[in-house]
Amino acid sequence: MSQVPVVVVQAAEVAADECSAGAAVRTLVDTSADEPGLVRRLVDVAPGAALRGSAGAGGELWFVIEGTGTLELTGQPDVALRPDRGFLMPPGWAYLASASQETGLRLDTVSLPAGHGVATGTPLSCDFADCEVETTGDRKFRVLFGPGRDCSVATQFVGEIPPGRAPDHSHPYDEVVLVLQGQGVAHIGGTEHALSAGTCAHLPPGLVHCLENTGSQMLRVLGVFHPADSPAAKLEEH
């Protein structure tokens, strides 16, 4: 069994840093303390407010969870922010994310490891609905960015888990998972953790785990992992 400490947090219990007027950022998981790793943040922008910044040294993968707005990028046309839209942000790229007056915005942002992140280029967007449906067992997923999908170093995907529990398994990559919808239990390294919208878990390489859907509706999760691979890739079955 892996000796890596299990990290499972609920976003509502993480203190927010006020980055600018009307924008708050919560750091849910930071795996970069000892070596280059993933940093997952949850960004809430109030209606009519904006968040200004620049992508990290390894680039970033974004996903719009809720709300609408506009993403302004230096030297690029403005891009609409809407639910289920993903973004690939090259290192150091300046941005301004503005929320609409009606809805505000909730964004997931994952900074990739410096030195192992996105190659230089231009920002890209991808909609969940436009991505191919893939399956592993009775679970479905769609990859927004990954190998063959404009990102060779990391993978961003949305997975849908029906009621029930799949066999325990482990992956060859470092992964951070955020629950978007539903209820369940994460069985990780011999421990159990309740899952609901806003729960974030860090799954290091080789850590035995499974996500169980204990509700009656689909359990929907947003995953990002590094190095890039398929969400169906497994090291072992149990």
Shared domain check, 120 and 39: yes
Shared domain check, 112 and 146: no
- What's the pLDDT band for 235 if we cut at 50, 70, 90? low
Residue 140, in any domain of the structure: yes
Query: Looking at residue 5, what is its pLDDT?
Result: 63
Residue-wise pLDDT for 7-44, tens only, equals: 899 999 999 987 778 999 999 999 877 677 899 999 99
Separation of alpha carbons 4 and 48, rounded Å? 42
Shared domain check, 220 and 138: yes
144: exposed, middle or buried (Cβ count in 10 Å: 0-12, 13-18, 19+): buried
Residue 131 has pLDDT above 50, yes or no: yes
Say what the pTM is.
Answer: 0.93
The SS3 call for residue 157 is: strand
Separation of alpha carbons 51 and 7, rounded Å? 27
6: exposed, middle or buried (Cβ count in 10 Å: 0-12, 13-18, 19+): middle
Mean pLDDT, the chain, rounded, equals: 91
Residue 6, in any domain of the structure: no
Residue 179, in any domain of the structure: yes
Instruction: Please choose, from the candidates 181, 171, 155, the residue with its C-alpha nearest in 3D space to the C-alpha of residue 210.
Output: 171
Ramachandran angles phi, psi of 15, nearest 5°: -65, 140
Residue 66 has pLDDT above 70, yes or no: yes
Residue 163's contacts (CB-CB under 8 Å, 6 or more residues apart) are 213, 214, 215, 216, 217
| Residue whose structure tokens are 């006020």 | 18
Separation of alpha carbons 125 and 18, rounded Å? 26
Shared domain check, 84 and 139: no
Give the pairing type, strands 50-54 and 94-99. antiparallel
Is the CB of residue 196 less than 8 Å from the CB of residue 231? no
Number of domains in the chain: 2
Residue 7's contacts (CB-CB under 8 Å, 6 or more residues apart) are 29, 201, 202
Residue-wise pLDDT for 136-189, tens only, equals: 888 999 999 999 999 989 999 999 999 999 889 899 999 999 999 999 999 998
220: exposed, middle or buried (Cβ count in 10 Å: 0-12, 13-18, 19+): middle
